Amino acid sequence: MKIHLPTTQKKLTSPPKQMTMSKGPVSQYIEHHYRHFNAAALMDAAKGYVTHLEEGGKMMVTLAGAMSTAELGLSLAEMIRQDKVAIISCTGANLEEDIMNLVAHSHYKRVPNYRDLSPQEEWDLLENHYNRVTDTCIPEEEAFRRLQKHIHQIWKEADNKGERYFPHEYMYKMLLSGVLEQYYEIDPKNSWMLAAAKKNIPIVVPGWEDSTMGNIFASYVIKNELKATTMKSGIEYMVWLADWYRNNSSGKGVGFFQIGGGIAGDFPICVVPMMYQDLEWHDVPFWSYFCQISDSTTSYGSYSGAVPNEKITWGKLDITTPKFIVESDATIVAPLIFAWVLGW
Protein backbone atom coordinates (compact mmCIF):
# COMPACT_ATOMS: atom_id res chain seq x y z
CA MET A 1 0.00 0.00 0.00
CA LYS A 2 1.35 3.40 -0.92
CA ILE A 3 1.59 5.84 1.98
CA HIS A 4 0.96 9.53 1.29
CA LEU A 5 2.65 12.05 3.55
CA PRO A 6 0.42 14.90 4.79
CA THR A 7 1.00 18.12 2.87
CA THR A 8 2.29 19.81 6.02
CA GLN A 9 5.20 17.38 6.24
CA LYS A 10 8.31 17.01 4.13
CA LYS A 11 10.21 13.94 3.14
CA LEU A 12 13.63 13.68 4.73
CA THR A 13 16.24 14.52 2.17
CA SER A 14 19.87 15.47 2.16
CA PRO A 15 20.55 19.14 2.86
CA PRO A 16 20.24 21.30 -0.26
CA LYS A 17 23.51 21.71 -2.10
CA GLN A 18 23.99 25.45 -1.62
CA MET A 19 27.53 25.11 -0.39
CA THR A 20 30.16 26.81 -2.49
CA MET A 21 33.92 26.81 -2.29
CA SER A 22 33.71 30.27 -0.72
CA LYS A 23 32.15 28.88 2.47
CA GLY A 24 34.57 28.45 5.33
CA PRO A 25 34.94 25.61 7.85
CA VAL A 26 32.30 26.87 10.31
CA SER A 27 29.67 27.09 7.57
CA GLN A 28 30.64 23.71 6.22
CA TYR A 29 30.38 22.18 9.68
CA ILE A 30 26.93 23.52 10.51
CA GLU A 31 25.50 22.66 7.10
CA HIS A 32 26.71 19.08 7.43
CA HIS A 33 25.65 18.52 11.04
CA TYR A 34 22.67 20.83 11.66
CA ARG A 35 19.88 18.86 9.98
CA HIS A 36 17.01 18.54 12.46
CA PHE A 37 14.97 20.39 15.10
CA ASN A 38 16.44 23.69 16.36
CA ALA A 39 19.66 22.98 14.47
CA ALA A 40 17.72 22.75 11.21
CA ALA A 41 15.77 25.91 12.12
CA LEU A 42 19.12 27.68 12.56
CA MET A 43 20.20 26.64 9.06
CA ASP A 44 16.86 27.62 7.52
CA ALA A 45 17.03 31.05 9.16
CA ALA A 46 20.63 31.60 8.08
CA LYS A 47 19.89 30.67 4.47
CA GLY A 48 16.77 32.83 4.54
CA TYR A 49 18.87 35.78 5.75
CA VAL A 50 21.26 35.35 2.81
CA THR A 51 18.39 35.00 0.33
CA HIS A 52 16.79 38.17 1.65
CA LEU A 53 20.01 40.15 1.11
CA GLU A 54 20.71 38.60 -2.29
CA GLU A 55 17.25 39.65 -3.47
CA GLY A 56 17.98 43.27 -2.52
CA GLY A 57 16.48 43.39 0.96
CA LYS A 58 17.81 45.21 3.99
CA MET A 59 18.02 43.80 7.50
CA MET A 60 17.35 45.17 10.96
CA VAL A 61 19.08 43.35 13.82
CA THR A 62 17.67 43.77 17.33
CA LEU A 63 19.71 43.07 20.46
CA ALA A 64 18.13 42.26 23.81
CA GLY A 65 19.75 40.71 26.86
CA ALA A 66 23.48 41.08 27.44
CA MET A 67 24.69 40.33 23.92
CA SER A 68 27.41 42.99 24.02
CA THR A 69 28.88 41.60 27.24
CA ALA A 70 28.67 38.18 25.57
CA GLU A 71 31.02 39.75 22.95
CA LEU A 72 28.72 39.36 19.96
CA GLY A 73 30.88 42.08 18.43
CA LEU A 74 33.32 39.34 17.37
CA SER A 75 30.88 38.54 14.55
CA LEU A 76 28.42 41.45 14.47
CA ALA A 77 31.15 44.02 13.77
CA GLU A 78 32.10 42.20 10.57
CA MET A 79 28.42 41.89 9.60
CA ILE A 80 28.22 45.68 9.85
CA ARG A 81 31.42 46.23 7.85
CA GLN A 82 30.17 43.96 5.08
CA ASP A 83 26.77 45.70 4.87
CA LYS A 84 24.85 42.65 6.11
CA VAL A 85 23.07 44.90 8.65
CA ALA A 86 21.30 48.12 7.67
CA ILE A 87 19.94 49.22 11.04
CA ILE A 88 20.12 48.10 14.68
CA SER A 89 17.72 48.32 17.60
CA CYS A 90 19.21 47.61 21.00
CA THR A 91 18.82 48.23 24.69
CA GLY A 92 20.80 50.97 26.38
CA ALA A 93 22.86 48.26 28.08
CA ASN A 94 23.96 46.74 24.78
CA LEU A 95 24.76 50.21 23.43
CA GLU A 96 27.20 50.95 26.25
CA GLU A 97 28.52 47.52 27.20
CA ASP A 98 30.21 46.92 23.85
CA ILE A 99 32.22 50.10 24.44
CA MET A 100 32.94 49.09 28.03
CA ASN A 101 34.40 45.83 26.81
CA LEU A 102 36.47 47.80 24.29
CA VAL A 103 38.09 49.99 26.95
CA ALA A 104 38.20 47.74 30.03
CA HIS A 105 38.38 44.13 28.83
CA SER A 106 41.43 43.11 30.86
CA HIS A 107 39.74 44.26 34.06
CA TYR A 108 36.68 42.05 33.60
CA LYS A 109 36.40 39.04 35.87
CA ARG A 110 34.80 35.74 34.89
CA VAL A 111 33.13 33.67 37.60
CA PRO A 112 32.40 30.18 36.17
CA ASN A 113 30.86 29.04 39.48
CA TYR A 114 28.46 31.98 39.68
CA ARG A 115 25.56 29.67 40.60
CA ASP A 116 27.35 28.78 43.83
CA LEU A 117 28.00 32.33 45.05
CA SER A 118 26.66 33.16 48.49
CA PRO A 119 25.00 36.50 49.29
CA GLN A 120 28.19 37.49 51.09
CA GLU A 121 30.32 36.69 48.04
CA GLU A 122 27.96 38.76 45.88
CA TRP A 123 28.34 41.62 48.36
CA ASP A 124 32.12 41.26 48.18
CA LEU A 125 31.94 41.72 44.41
CA LEU A 126 30.00 44.94 44.94
CA GLU A 127 32.50 46.14 47.54
CA ASN A 128 35.27 45.51 45.01
CA HIS A 129 33.37 47.56 42.40
CA TYR A 130 32.25 44.68 40.20
CA ASN A 131 28.76 44.35 38.71
CA ARG A 132 27.92 40.77 37.74
CA VAL A 133 26.16 39.71 34.53
CA THR A 134 25.75 35.93 34.92
CA ASP A 135 29.36 34.68 34.79
CA THR A 136 30.94 38.00 33.80
CA CYS A 137 31.76 40.84 36.20
CA ILE A 138 32.04 44.35 34.76
CA PRO A 139 34.53 46.64 36.57
CA GLU A 140 32.88 49.87 37.67
CA GLU A 141 35.90 52.18 37.63
CA GLU A 142 37.52 51.05 34.38
CA ALA A 143 34.24 50.60 32.49
CA PHE A 144 31.36 52.74 33.81
CA ARG A 145 33.32 55.67 35.21
CA ARG A 146 35.79 55.75 32.35
CA LEU A 147 32.94 56.24 29.90
CA GLN A 148 31.15 58.66 32.21
CA LYS A 149 34.13 61.00 32.29
CA HIS A 150 34.13 61.45 28.52
CA ILE A 151 30.44 61.14 27.64
CA HIS A 152 29.57 63.78 30.25
CA GLN A 153 31.79 66.28 28.45
CA ILE A 154 29.98 65.59 25.17
CA TRP A 155 26.56 65.85 26.82
CA LYS A 156 27.57 69.11 28.50
CA GLU A 157 28.91 70.63 25.30
CA ALA A 158 25.63 69.91 23.50
CA ASP A 159 23.63 71.19 26.47
CA ASN A 160 25.54 74.47 26.50
CA LYS A 161 24.93 74.95 22.78
CA GLY A 162 21.25 74.07 23.03
CA GLU A 163 21.79 71.04 20.77
CA ARG A 164 19.89 67.76 21.06
CA TYR A 165 20.88 64.27 19.89
CA PHE A 166 19.84 60.66 20.29
CA PRO A 167 21.68 58.44 22.81
CA HIS A 168 23.57 56.54 20.12
CA GLU A 169 24.64 59.76 18.41
CA TYR A 170 26.41 60.90 21.56
CA MET A 171 28.16 57.52 21.71
CA TYR A 172 29.19 57.87 18.07
CA LYS A 173 30.64 61.31 18.77
CA MET A 174 32.69 59.90 21.63
CA LEU A 175 33.97 56.93 19.61
CA LEU A 176 34.83 58.95 16.50
CA SER A 177 36.60 61.67 18.50
CA GLY A 178 39.38 59.20 19.28
CA VAL A 179 39.35 60.10 22.98
CA LEU A 180 38.88 56.45 23.97
CA GLU A 181 41.71 55.04 21.86
CA GLN A 182 44.14 55.41 24.77
CA TYR A 183 42.13 52.78 26.66
CA TYR A 184 41.56 50.15 23.96
CA GLU A 185 42.10 46.67 25.38
CA ILE A 186 40.74 44.50 22.55
CA ASP A 187 41.27 44.59 18.83
CA PRO A 188 38.99 47.49 17.83
CA LYS A 189 37.73 45.50 14.83
CA ASN A 190 35.79 43.37 17.34
CA SER A 191 33.71 46.29 18.64
CA TRP A 192 30.36 46.40 16.88
CA MET A 193 29.68 49.91 18.14
CA LEU A 194 32.92 51.20 16.66
CA ALA A 195 32.10 49.49 13.36
CA ALA A 196 28.62 51.02 13.44
CA ALA A 197 30.00 54.48 14.24
CA LYS A 198 32.43 54.33 11.33
CA LYS A 199 29.60 53.25 9.00
CA ASN A 200 27.18 55.69 10.65
CA ILE A 201 24.46 53.07 10.50
CA PRO A 202 21.26 54.08 12.27
CA ILE A 203 20.53 52.71 15.74
CA VAL A 204 17.29 52.84 17.69
CA VAL A 205 17.62 52.59 21.48
CA PRO A 206 14.16 52.31 23.07
CA GLY A 207 14.06 52.67 26.84
CA TRP A 208 17.59 54.06 26.95
CA GLU A 209 16.89 55.43 30.42
CA ASP A 210 17.06 51.82 31.65
CA SER A 211 20.85 51.67 31.38
CA THR A 212 23.87 52.81 33.35
CA MET A 213 24.50 55.81 31.10
CA GLY A 214 20.78 56.60 31.20
CA ASN A 215 20.87 56.56 35.00
CA ILE A 216 23.98 58.74 35.01
CA PHE A 217 22.36 61.23 32.63
CA ALA A 218 19.29 61.38 34.90
CA SER A 219 21.55 62.11 37.88
CA TYR A 220 22.97 65.16 36.10
CA VAL A 221 19.44 66.33 35.31
CA ILE A 222 18.47 65.99 38.99
CA LYS A 223 21.57 68.03 39.93
CA ASN A 224 20.55 70.68 37.37
CA GLU A 225 23.79 70.17 35.44
CA LEU A 226 22.01 69.05 32.26
CA LYS A 227 18.56 69.58 30.76
CA ALA A 228 16.46 66.48 30.13
CA THR A 229 15.66 67.78 26.64
CA THR A 230 19.33 67.59 25.64
CA MET A 231 18.64 63.88 25.07
CA LYS A 232 16.14 63.06 22.34
CA SER A 233 13.31 60.82 23.49
CA GLY A 234 11.86 57.43 22.62
CA ILE A 235 8.92 59.08 20.88
CA GLU A 236 11.39 60.91 18.65
CA TYR A 237 13.08 57.58 17.91
CA MET A 238 9.72 56.17 16.74
CA VAL A 239 9.03 59.23 14.57
CA TRP A 240 12.52 58.95 13.06
CA LEU A 241 12.11 55.19 12.50
CA ALA A 242 8.82 55.68 10.65
CA ASP A 243 10.57 58.00 8.21
CA TRP A 244 13.52 55.62 7.81
CA TYR A 245 11.24 52.65 7.15
CA ARG A 246 9.22 54.54 4.54
CA ASN A 247 12.42 55.41 2.70
CA ASN A 248 13.98 51.95 2.87
CA SER A 249 11.16 49.42 2.48
CA SER A 250 10.65 49.51 -1.27
CA GLY A 251 11.55 46.52 -3.43
CA LYS A 252 12.39 43.45 -1.36
CA GLY A 253 11.80 45.39 1.84
CA VAL A 254 13.28 45.28 5.33
CA GLY A 255 13.81 42.07 7.29
CA PHE A 256 13.73 41.70 11.06
CA PHE A 257 16.37 39.58 12.82
CA GLN A 258 15.44 39.49 16.50
CA ILE A 259 17.95 38.33 19.09
CA GLY A 260 16.00 37.74 22.28
CA GLY A 261 12.88 39.84 22.61
CA GLY A 262 11.88 42.63 24.95
CA ILE A 263 11.72 46.31 24.13
CA ALA A 264 14.62 46.10 21.65
CA GLY A 265 12.41 43.90 19.47
CA ASP A 266 8.86 45.03 20.15
CA PHE A 267 9.52 48.78 19.85
CA PRO A 268 10.85 48.78 16.28
CA ILE A 269 8.59 46.03 14.91
CA CYS A 270 5.58 48.13 15.94
CA VAL A 271 6.50 50.90 13.51
CA VAL A 272 4.67 49.02 10.73
CA PRO A 273 1.27 48.64 12.44
CA MET A 274 1.64 52.19 13.78
CA MET A 275 1.89 53.55 10.25
CA TYR A 276 -0.74 51.22 8.80
CA GLN A 277 -3.34 51.36 11.56
CA ASP A 278 -2.79 54.65 13.39
CA LEU A 279 -1.60 56.84 10.53
CA GLU A 280 -3.71 54.90 8.00
CA TRP A 281 -0.88 54.75 5.48
CA HIS A 282 -2.06 51.64 3.70
CA ASP A 283 0.83 51.50 1.27
CA VAL A 284 3.29 50.52 4.02
CA PRO A 285 4.80 47.06 3.39
CA PHE A 286 5.10 44.47 6.15
CA TRP A 287 8.46 43.31 7.42
CA SER A 288 9.67 41.01 4.65
CA TYR A 289 11.70 38.47 6.68
CA PHE A 290 11.46 37.50 10.34
CA CYS A 291 13.74 35.45 12.56
CA GLN A 292 13.54 35.17 16.31
CA ILE A 293 16.15 33.56 18.57
CA SER A 294 14.58 33.06 21.99
CA ASP A 295 14.24 30.46 24.71
CA SER A 296 11.07 32.04 26.08
CA THR A 297 7.96 29.84 26.09
CA THR A 298 4.92 31.16 24.27
CA SER A 299 2.47 30.06 26.98
CA TYR A 300 3.91 32.64 29.40
CA GLY A 301 2.26 35.42 27.40
CA SER A 302 5.42 37.44 26.78
CA TYR A 303 6.44 39.24 23.60
CA SER A 304 9.75 37.37 23.74
CA GLY A 305 7.94 34.05 23.55
CA ALA A 306 5.28 35.02 21.00
CA VAL A 307 5.54 32.82 17.91
CA PRO A 308 5.90 34.62 14.56
CA ASN A 309 2.32 33.89 13.43
CA GLU A 310 0.95 35.81 16.43
CA LYS A 311 2.54 38.91 14.90
CA ILE A 312 0.23 38.56 11.89
CA THR A 313 -2.69 39.46 14.17
CA TRP A 314 -0.90 42.68 15.17
CA GLY A 315 -0.24 43.76 11.59
CA LYS A 316 3.52 43.29 11.88
CA LEU A 317 4.06 40.36 9.50
CA ASP A 318 2.27 39.21 6.36
CA ILE A 319 0.96 35.70 5.75
CA THR A 320 3.72 35.21 3.20
CA THR A 321 6.59 36.69 5.25
CA PRO A 322 9.36 34.06 5.66
CA LYS A 323 9.27 33.26 9.39
CA PHE A 324 11.85 31.44 11.48
CA ILE A 325 12.15 30.76 15.18
CA VAL A 326 15.16 29.16 16.84
CA GLU A 327 14.30 28.22 20.40
CA SER A 328 17.78 28.21 21.84
CA ASP A 329 20.50 30.30 23.49
CA ALA A 330 21.19 33.39 21.39
CA THR A 331 24.83 33.50 22.52
CA ILE A 332 25.28 30.17 20.72
CA VAL A 333 22.93 30.63 17.77
CA ALA A 334 23.52 34.23 16.63
CA PRO A 335 27.30 33.87 16.01
CA LEU A 336 26.67 30.71 13.95
CA ILE A 337 24.04 32.39 11.79
CA PHE A 338 26.34 35.37 11.30
CA ALA A 339 29.17 32.97 10.42
CA TRP A 340 26.99 31.48 7.67
CA VAL A 341 26.01 34.89 6.31
CA LEU A 342 29.69 35.92 6.29
CA GLY A 343 30.82 32.64 4.74
CA TRP A 344 33.15 31.76 7.61
CATH of the domain at 50: 3.40.910.10
Dihedral of CA atoms 62, 63, 65, 71 in degrees, nearest 10, equals 160
Give the range among 53-67, 88-102, 153-167, 297-311 with minimum mean pLDDT. Answer: 297-311
**Average pLDDT, integer, range 7-21:** 48
Encode pLDDT of 79-130 as tens digits: 999 999 999 999 999 999 999 999 999 999 999 999 999 999 999 999 999 9
The answer to whether the CB of 129 falls within 8 A of the CB of 299 is: no
Encode pLDDT of 254-293 as tens digits: 999 999 999 999 999 999 999 999 999 999 999 999 999 9
Encode pLDDT of 190-229 as tens digits: 999 999 999 999 999 999 999 999 999 999 999 999 999 9
What is the predicted pLDDT for the residue at 121? 97
Does residue 1 belong to any structural domain of this protein?
A: no
* 271 Cβ contact partners less than 8 Å away, ≥ 6 residues apart: 238, 241, 242, 245
Does residue 7 belong to any structural domain of this protein?
A: no
Does residue 256 belong to any structural domain of this protein?
A: yes
Does residue 11 belong to any structural domain of this protein?
A: no
Task: Specify the number of domains making up the chain.
Answer: 1
On average, the pLDDT of the chain sits at: 93
Residue 121's H or E segment, with its range, is helix 119-127
Does residue 14 belong to any structural domain of this protein?
A: no
Does residue 146 belong to any structural domain of this protein?
A: yes
Which residues form the domain of 196? Answer: 25-104+119-342
Does residue 338 belong to any structural domain of this protein?
A: yes
Does residue 110 belong to any structural domain of this protein?
A: no
Q: Is the pLDDT of residue 19 over 50?
A: no
Instruction: Write down the pTM of the prediction.
Output: 0.93
